Structure 1
């Protein structure tokens, strides 16, 4: 298995500043021992006129950008158009995986809701059609169940899995979001083993989680080893299903700064998981 780090948390501000911050994320990740990186699909906006500029930046920094991460809403055709353009760009820069998630309910209602087939059917349609399109370009679509969206709970995931084509749609499970859903990450990996194509790793402070409500629950995410997720069990489950892909560390809200959190997680990966 190969370790990676996601760099979207470095990026803020206008396009020129964002491009410099992206370069900084590549250099810091490489320094820490992450040869593989991912980022949000919005970086296409900075390089769509010259994808070669981004390819050269990756080469100069010594990193491989293998994954872009996009978001759907409930506008099927609009989501497909945007996502297909992002997949086209990913293909041009030599990426291999496209992570995607539903972007959320968009109505200021509660973040956690019962399984909603009407919403899920739209998300499944987008994923199926995008997955078929991406496969022709050599890219695997990996759907990411996520807190605050219509694909979060066990029943949401099961419905989504039953209504998407395994030939076109795989999963990226996230150890923190599954924990927030009350799901054992190792168990969901075993359940959907043949559909796991990518992984996100982040830890959870479950004491803080027990006190948090609503979106504040995502503020309980931590660098690896600073929470209670059983990562050796996660690694064992991945080995059991024969997974030999990317383990990408992500931390939405770095505890000190991006570099520090990436360093803490890299030490844990090396010293505890032997990666």
Structure 2
């Protein structure tokens, strides 16, 4: 389909005609091959639901996504009873492709406590039936850029976490992220150079990588042997250009080269999870489920099966 679908027609298909939001270009999306990415399994992160994880499970399953990424906030209710969340996921036929294990911060003065927290999380993931944890950080200096020494230290800390979680059958993944160690492509490179690829895989967040000045397509090619999963995510500028502000949006609503990403995944014959992540609803009149419906429609348009 070479012409753009009108905004109102697109929204009416979703039952969202009264909501004000931009449309995506079907002509651009249609440049993808019809085969899609056969090895890609598409999940969705619960983060958009703001802690209402049971509703997230219900909505994500109802929309046909194959898996869900849960966050460490779920430990408050289910940490001592992993079998309960495992049964809930089974009831809604959802896989558990990734767990947000939280930050691994350097310079806490107690690396062992940091490592132990992620080990405990890994044991929970193992009990639920998952395989992967994602690790982030909040160690970026408030002013200036991080030193090479700090990036190297973070890589070594990730390596130790990954080595120990691997001993219990859980793979640690590093998640690149704005405003953290690993904001820019150069920082990501240094971090990954300082941890063993067997101990620490890469969960490539394409929107964070784009916002940090990188090209996700190039990153996929460069790290193809290390990427274990991706965050399928979109972002667009917010406010005046000089503000450098941005907001995360539904797929197809932002500036990330999504057709290029999917084409490259197809070319490298990627096999693994692509997990849609939207930190929060970008416009208050929309619900998390409505945002997920917009993303699902985009994925279907570009030939990605969920």
Fold conserved (TM > 0.5)? yes
**Which TM-score applies when normalising by structure 1?**
0.88
Q: Which runs of 5+ in 1 are unaligned?
A: 13-20
Aligned Cα RMSD in Å?
1.8
Q: 2:105 aligns with which of 73, 88, 96?
A: 73
Counterpart mapping for 1:146-225 below 5 A: 146-206=177-237, 210-213=241-244, 216-217=245-246, 220-225=247-252
SS of equivalent to 1:193 = coil
2:289 to 234, 259, 266: 259
1:238 aligns with 2:282: no
CA offset at residue 11 of structure 1?
A: 3.3
Q: Write the distance in 1 (CA, Å) between the matches of 2:154 and 2:250.
A: 30
Q: Which has the higher contact order (CA 8 A, sep 6+)?
A: 2
Out of 68, 75, 87, the position equivalent to 1:44 is 75
- Tell me the SS of whatever aligns to 1:199: strand
Quick one: which of 229, 245, 251 aligns to 2:256? 229
In the alignment, structure 1 residue 53 sits paired with structure 2 residue 88: no
SS at match of 1:147: coil
Is the contact made by 1:66 and 1:94 (CA closer than 8 Å) also made in structure 2? no
| TM-score normalized by the length of structure 2 | 0.79
SS at match of 1:242: coil
Q: Structure 2 CA distance, aligned partners of 1:209 and 1:236?
A: 32
Task: Determine the C-alpha separation between the residues in 2 that align with 1:237 and 1:274.
Answer: 13
Q: Which has the higher helix share?
A: 1
The count of corresponding residues between Structure 1 and Structure 2 is: 259
Unmatched segments (≥5 aa) in structure 2: 1-39
Pick one of 30, 49, 69 that aligns with 1:10.
49
Which residue does 2:120 correspond to in 1? 85
Deviations 1:161-199 (A, max 9, x none): 211101111111111101111101010111111000010
Deviation per CA, 1:91-129, whole angstroms, max 9, x where unpaired? Answer: 111102111111243x6x24xx43422322332122111
Decide whether the 8 Å contact of 2:47 with 2:277 is kept in 1. no
Residues 151 and 157 in structure 1, CA contact (< 8 A), matched pair in contact too: yes
Secondary structure of 2:173's aligned partner? strand
Distance 1:240 1:138, change over 3 A: farther
Q: Distance in 1 between matches of 2:201 and 2:263?
A: 20
Task: Please give the secondary structure, in 1, of the residue aligned with 2:225.
Answer: helix
Aligned residues of 1:200 and 1:250 also touching (Cα < 8 A): yes
User: Contact (CA 8 Å) 1:203, 1:224: kept in 2 or not?
Assistant: yes
Alignment partner of 2:42: what SS? strand
Q: Following the alignment from structure 2 to structure 1, what is the Cα–Cα distance between the partners of residues 113 and 152?
A: 15
Aligned-residue offset at 1:33: 1.1
Q: Distance in 2 between matches of 1:60 and 1:125?
A: 39
Shift of 1:207: 6.7
Q: Residues 140-151 of structure 1: matches in 2 within 5 Å?
A: 140-151=171-182
In the other structure, the counterpart of 2:133 is 98
